[in-house]
Amino acid sequence: MGNITLNNVRKTFGSTEVIPGIDLEIADGEFVVFVGPSGCGKSTLLRLIAGLEDLTSGMISIDGREVTDEPPAKRGLAMVFQSYALYPHMSVYNNIAFPLKMAKLDKASIDKTVRAAAETLNLTPYLDRRPGQLSGGQRQRVAIGRAIVRQPGAFLFDEPLSNLDAALRGTMRLEISELHQHLKTTMIYVTHDQVEAMTMADKIVVLNAGNIEQVGSPLELYRSPRNLFVAGFIGSPRMNLISGGEAERLDAATIGVRPEHLNLSTESGKWKGTVGVAEHLGSDTFLHVHADGLGQLTVRADGEFPVHHGDTVWLTPEPERVHRFNAGGEAIR
Amino acid sequence: MARSISTRRKIIVTLAAWGVAFVIFFPILYMLITSLKTEAEAIAGISLIPSFTFENYVEVQTQRDYFKPFLNSVIISVGSTLVALLIAVPAAWSMAFSPTRRTKDILMWMLSTKMMPAVGVLVPLFLIFRDTGLLDTRVGLTLVLTLVNLPIVVWMLYTYFREIPGEILEAARMDGASLAGEIIYVLTPMAVPGIASTMLLNIILAWNEAFWTLRLTTSSAAPLTAFIASFSSPQGLFWAKLSAASTLAIAPILIMGWFSQRQLVRGLTFGAVK
């Protein structure tokens, strides 16, 4: 079980308010991603849930039991750190066994559990090695192994993939998602990478300056961002934001159109522009277009689209996919 | 050409290094030489060739018992080091991993006690020792040397602990380790090189400490420093015997230092080289 409830959780460091007050409900078995730019308080929020930081005020409960003042060990949670935080003086086996030893389990059942976890994570050949002798991906798996043997109520991941190279990150992303489907345990995952957020989450919590900007499923956030911040943060490449005359015509201060919602033509369309940089990826083509009177716009076309620097193109937004925002940056529905 | 210049440089640097090392080592060498001279030779003036007599060593041992002050030195230096570590490990742990706004001030305050001349507190400390019956006891001396070296021990351990990433200790906390478990199973094993070198250095400092050991002891708790000093009075100076006594006094710590030099250097450069 892993229901987690945050009730008006506040955190200040000295006179700096990092989290001004957050209410959040995380259901059992959910994969929740906290996403936001660096310094937005997402890691602090995770550490508050873990018990590694004390709350300034507010309440945290897990499965209906208040844990606000309980030490990390009593909360029944497991955490995977960005730096893996493996014990360098212990073998892989002892790293994974450590939480079980702390729980004073008998040797036979520790051995059984550690070997089963190692089997799941393909670590069996490395059990006698020290963390220093492993690659980044293997270390990450040891860290996950150490977390799963405790059978925690929830897993907390603090940017676990940011030290890995791009290819490995993709593989590990998949492994963590599979692990979640297999274990069906609540997972809270902190990242600044919106691709990780979109691909892994059941529910995304977008944070900015310690405040929750929006909570929703990846596609909810993609389809109807509540404000300019979420609109700019979710989706890659970023949403094009246009203000001025074109926005006023739609009764908005700013309008937003995603690169994939601009139809591209070399003959006719609504907005005329000149191609600045063309990125041909084969599967997609990204064009950075200087649109007359609108500024720089990014456009995505499916497959190959044979235009180059200096060519003239026409862009037409899909009308139902245009997002409108008022002067305060809030979405107009 | 470049090669020959670098070879010549190497020779010069090597010779300079040997020269410096010789200058530093010379007093110890001369002490050893003097201890092998007769008293008459020792007074006669500078000479590097002794008559290789061992009579000073024999006499030093027959005149005064070497073993007792040696045992006192061992008990006092090892004892004060262990007590200091017992206090300093938790202190350095808390300052390194949960510092407050005052941590830097506390560290500076601790260091500042080393800036004060020891003579400044000699009288009050002597009176306290006299009235509490600690004068000329091993317990008293162990206590004083613990306190004298504690700031250095805390500082050294603090520096080593700072090199250990805090996330590893947090991981231990998440894994269910108690505070004691965290220190015993995770922090201490990771800090072994640092703790070992701190320990060795502190034993050396305590072994060589001469101000308090000379003033707070007379006979029963007197360590080797007092053993050496006892040869410089009152019937006059006996250079050869004094040298023999000094050689005997520094020999154990020199031998220990020789065998643990790798550990010492590793500890002193801990963190500098990843």
Q: What is the CATH number of the domain that holds A83?
A: 3.40.50.300
Whether B238 maps to a domain, the answer reads no
Q: Are B48 and B141 part of one and the same domain?
A: no
Residues 186-215 of B with CB under 8 A from A: 186, 189-190
Question: What SS3 state is found at A123?
Answer: coil
Question: Does residue A88 have a cis bond before it (omega within 30 degrees)?
Answer: no
A213-223 pLDDT tens trace? 999 999 999 99
Query: What's the structural domain count of chain A?
Result: 2
- How close B78 comes to chain A (CA, Å)? 27
- Tell me the CATH number at B204: 1.10.3720.10
Q: Are B52 and B139 part of one and the same domain?
A: no
A86 to chain B, any CB pair closer than 8 A? The answer is: yes
On whether the CB atoms of residues B172 and B103 are closer than 8 A, the answer is: no
Q: Are B42 and B73 part of one and the same domain?
A: no
Q: Are A208 and A265 part of one and the same domain?
A: no
- For a pLDDT cut of 70, what percent of chain A falls above it? 100
Q: Which residues of B touch A85 (CB under 8 A)?
A: 165, 167-168, 170-171
Whether A330 maps to a domain, the answer reads no
Whether B202 maps to a domain, the answer reads yes
Tell me the average pLDDT across B108-123.
88
Q: Are B35 and B149 part of one and the same domain?
A: no
Q: A145 to chain B: nearest residue by CA?
A: B175
Q: Are B111 and B134 part of one and the same domain?
A: yes
Q: Phi/psi class of residue B126: alpha, beta or left (left: φ > 0; alpha: ψ in -120 to 50)?
A: alpha
Tracing tokens 């643990």 back to the chain, one arrives at B260
Query: What's the structural domain count of chain B?
Result: 2
**B195 burial via Cβ count (<10 Å: 0-12, 13-18, 19+):** buried
- How close B209 comes to chain A (CA, Å)? 36
B117 to chain A, any CB pair closer than 8 A? The answer is: no
Among the candidates A199, A230, A261, a domain finishes at: A230
| Most A CBs within 10 Å, among B102, B175, B192, to test the A interface | B175
Q: B167 to chain A: nearest residue by CA?
A: A85
Whether B245 maps to a domain, the answer reads no
Q: Are B144 and B35 part of one and the same domain?
A: no
Cross-chain residue pair A87–B171, CB shorter than 8 Å: yes
On whether the CB atoms of residues B206 and B141 are closer than 8 A, the answer is: no
Q: Are A241 and A225 part of one and the same domain?
A: no
Q: Which two tokens stand for residue B150?
A: 């504690």
3-state SS of A31-94? EEEEECCCCCCHHHHHHHHHCCCCCCEEEEEECCEECCCCCHHHHCEEEECCCCCCCCCCCHHH
- Tell me the CATH number at A294: 2.40.50.140
Whether B259 maps to a domain, the answer reads no
Q: Are A15 and A157 part of one and the same domain?
A: yes
Task: Tell me the pLDDT band of B232, cut-offs 50, 70 and 90.
Answer: confident
B45-99 pLDDT tens trace? 788 888 888 888 888 888 778 888 889 999 999 999 999 999 999 899 899 988 8
The distance from CA A296 to its chain's CA centroid, rounded to whole angstroms, is 27
Whether B139 maps to a domain, the answer reads yes
Residue range(s) defining the domain that contains residue A9: 4-230
Q: Are B199 and B154 part of one and the same domain?
A: yes
Q: Are A160 and A246 part of one and the same domain?
A: no
Cross-chain residue pair A150–B189, CB shorter than 8 Å: no
Q: Are A128 and A69 part of one and the same domain?
A: yes
B20-53 pLDDT tens trace? 999 999 999 999 999 998 888 888 878 888 888 8
Q: Are B37 and B85 part of one and the same domain?
A: no
The distance from CA B175 to its chain's CA centroid, rounded to whole angstroms, is 39
- Predicted pLDDT at B271: 43
B176 to chain A, any CB pair closer than 8 A? The answer is: yes
- How close B175 comes to chain A (CA, Å)? 5
Using CB atoms, pick whichever of B165, B168, B181 lies closest to residue A102.
B181
